[in-house]
Amino acid sequence: MKVFVVGLNHKVADIEVREKLSFDGPKLLEGLLRFKEIPEVKEAIILSTCNRVELYANVSDTEKAAEAVKTFLSEFHNIKRDLLDTALYIYDDVNAVRHIFRVASSLDSMIIGEPQILGQLKDAFEIALEKKTTGIILNKLMKKAISVAKRVRTETRIAENAVSISFAAVELARKIFTDLSRRACMLLGAGEMAELAARHLINNGVKEVMVANRTYERACELADDFNGRPVKFNEFIDEMVHADIVICSTGAPDYILRKNDMQKLMKERKQKQVFLIDISVPRNIDPEINELDNVYLYNIDDLQGVVDANVFERQKEAEKAEKIIGEELETFLKWQSSLDSVPTIIALRERAESIKKEELDKLLHRFPEIVEKDREAIEYMATALMNKLIHPPTIALKESSEDKESLVALVRKLYGIDEE
Amino acid sequence: MGILLFELALTLYFAATIVGIIELFKGTKITSRIILSLAAIGFLIHSISIIYRYVSAGHIPITNAHEATSFFSWCIIFIFFILQIRYRIAILSSFIMPVVFFLMLASTMLPREIKPLTPVLQSFWLGIHTVFAFLGNAAFALACGLGIMYLVQEHYVKSKNIGELFGRLPSLQTLDEMNYKLIKIGFPLLTLAIITGALWAESAWGSYWNWDAREVWALITWLIYAIVIHARLVAGWRGRRAAVLSIVGFLTILIAFFGIKILKKGLHVFL
């Protein structure tokens, strides 16, 4: 019985293919049950998110299972078989377990360290538990994957530090101002990134928001969205005296805020720190302003630099994470191998017992004149003989070795355990 | 016994210093806790050693160089812990512990015998004046440390050079606030030190002010910090400028202290 993974992610397939193969809503339940019905599949879980679709199973024969799963997917989703052959990856045994641990720890995600994947994995597991499509191996595997993910998150710094521009802006704001809830923010202009940054700041405590835009109506709209107040564009410099954080993203072709404007402003603000974020291209805030005391000006490249530095940090932490995963992988595999031999040992004993019983019955049938006392002696001998014969293979099975699977298979073959 | 306690405190401070340096590069919650524990235990033992010396000497143990440096480093840790009540920032200890350790180390190398007090020093003013002076200077020392941390952090933010240390240092606003608080603690202490010094001078030498080198430098220091506070309140000199001023102020204190020792002039030469 081997752990088995079939699937695709954002690295091997683009959105169109992933869409076709995704299992959302009721499709998930139906798909899961159909997946479990495949004869080679003993345990099943389906994980389907916007960035990946993966099928986890415990299978008896990897090759047959691979074929069967591909057929199932092609029929279920109405996709041509050859399209699947190129798009899917297949992992089995050690590689499958390692892959699942990596996915859970967010090492296979688009952004390493993202927190959603673990929750998505837990949900997929719960659904499988509810529908009773898992067994001892996948149950243990999922629980282990979840604990490995937690270990990675606590023992490495993989999930710290912002890796998107708007998060980076908030992270920087926190390094300048302790308490964002007492800060006021001004949004100059509009635009997806600027609005996202403003929203993040609000989510992190900023309560007062001013919005200035060349079109006053637009300013009012955005101000409404953010629960702030609109400001007339030609008055924005005056109002800036109240703003601790300014996000600038207008389409102006030149600087709208110059050094001497800022100097006057800082005097009025009594030198209270100001964080200026200039996302516009071309830049709207004179870069020389960064030279002023207590003013911190970041443009889009600077923010990207913060993000890149953090991504680099995360890569380093990812290496640590791989080490942790390697350790846990060993532990899991040891557990798994101990499991394999036990049913075989039991089966071996049962086979031996049944042979003993069979022969004893035959003997007594043949020679009914054998007395009770002799019968007991014969039975004693038969048991002793049986135990001596199955002892060495039992011991061999119990000791873990490299080639556990082959040994198990061999014992089963030699003693005819599977021929029942 | 007193020596044993002193050496023990010294060792603990040394350990805390080492962990503090490690914290700068690889800080975790565990290292923070270790530093604070080591510093706290060291402080306790240090306090006991000072009390022990007080009892064996019969007078306040701040009359020779050894005692003075020891007590000064004690004051620094004392104010550090008071600050920790409000601002739990363990990484400050990475900057403070080396200073404390070196002071203690210097203290070990200075002569320790307990000598009887000269007649001038046999006054109840001894304890009051010197304790005010030392506590005030300790506060200014910490303010200087915070000023340095501010400039370091500010450099990171301004130059967009995001390193690991950047993540571990507290926000600029916090550093600035702490710096201000320390100056607000130190300034009244220094004022009281000057006043009690004058009163003591009156009872010992007959006049409140003698234009002695130390007195003059104390006044200059007082003026500098008065300017710092004034500038903060009125002219909005916060952030970078305040940090620089607090470093300058403490440098003045250091120059005064060592300059006078080297020149050995004036009435104030006891140490």
pLDDT in tens, A11-36: 888 888 888 888 988 889 999 999 99
The partner residue sitting opposite B237, judged by closest CB among A160, A271, A273, is A271
Contact A290 B171 (CB under 8 A): no
**Per-residue tokens: A283:** 């830049």
Measured between CA atoms, the residue of chain A closest to residue B244 is A293
A150 with A101: CB under 8 angstroms?
no
The C-alpha angle A142, A145, A150, rounded to 5 degrees, equals 130
CA proximity to B132, closest of B192, B47, B203: B192
What is the reported pLDDT for B255?
Answer: 80
Mutation for testing the A interface, residue in B162, B165, B172, B234 having most A CBs under 10 Å: B162
Structure tokens at B193: 């030190």
Q: Which of A246, A187, A243, A245 is nearest to A214 (CA)?
A: A187
Residue A373 in tokens = 């006392």
Distance CA A237, CA A256 (A): 9
**Residue B29 at interface with chain A, using a CB cutoff of 8 Å:** no
Q: Measured in whole angstroms, how far is the alpha carbon of residue A202 from the centre of its chain? A: 28
- Name A413's Cβ contacts closer than 8 Å, sequence gap at least 6: none
Rg (CA), chain B: 19
Any A CB within 8 A of B239 CB = yes
For chain B, the residue count is 271
pLDDT value, residue A57: 94
pLDDT of the residue at B27: 65
Task: Please tell me the predicted confidence (pLDDT) of residue A420.
Answer: 46
| pLDDT for position B265 | 54
Residues 6+ away with beta carbon under 8 Å from B195? none
* Per-residue buried b or exposed e for A371-402, using 16+ beta carbons within 10 Å of the residue's own CB: eeeeeeebeeebeeebeeebeebbeebeeeee
Digit-by-digit pLDDT tens for chain B (271 residues) are: 777 888 888 888 888 888 888 877 776 667 778 888 888 888 888 888 888 888 877 777 777 778 888 888 899 999 999 888 887 777 788 888 888 888 888 888 877 777 766 666 666 777 788 889 899 999 999 999 899 989 988 888 888 776 666 677 888 888 898 999 999 999 999 999 989 888 888 877 777 787 877 788 888 889 999 998 988 888 777 888 889 989 988 888 888 777 766 666 555 555 4
> What letters, b where the CB count within 10 A reaches 16 and e where it falls short, cover A295-332?
bbbbbbebbebbbebbeebbeebbeebeebbeebbeeb
The angle that helices B172-205 and B65-86 make with each other, rounded to 10 degrees, is 140
| Strand order across the beta sheet in which A41-48 lies | A41-48, A52-59, A2-9, A89-92
Token representation of residue A45: 């879980």
pTM value is 0.68
Q: What ipTM was reported for this prediction? A: 0.73
> Which residues of chain A approach chain B closer than 8 Å at the C-beta?
160-161, 172, 174-179, 267, 269-273, 290, 293-294, 296, 298, 302, 305-306, 309-310, 313
Give the DSSP H/E element, type plus range, for residue B229: helix B213-234
Question: Are A355 and A415 in contact, with CB atoms under 8 Å apart?
Answer: no
Distance from the Cα of residue B163 to its chain's centroid: 29
Give the per-residue pLDDT at A241. 92
Q: Which residues of chain A have pLDDT under 50?
A: 420
Rounded-to-integer distance, Cα B141 and Cα A320, Å: 40
**8 A C-beta contact, residue A163 and residue A314:** yes
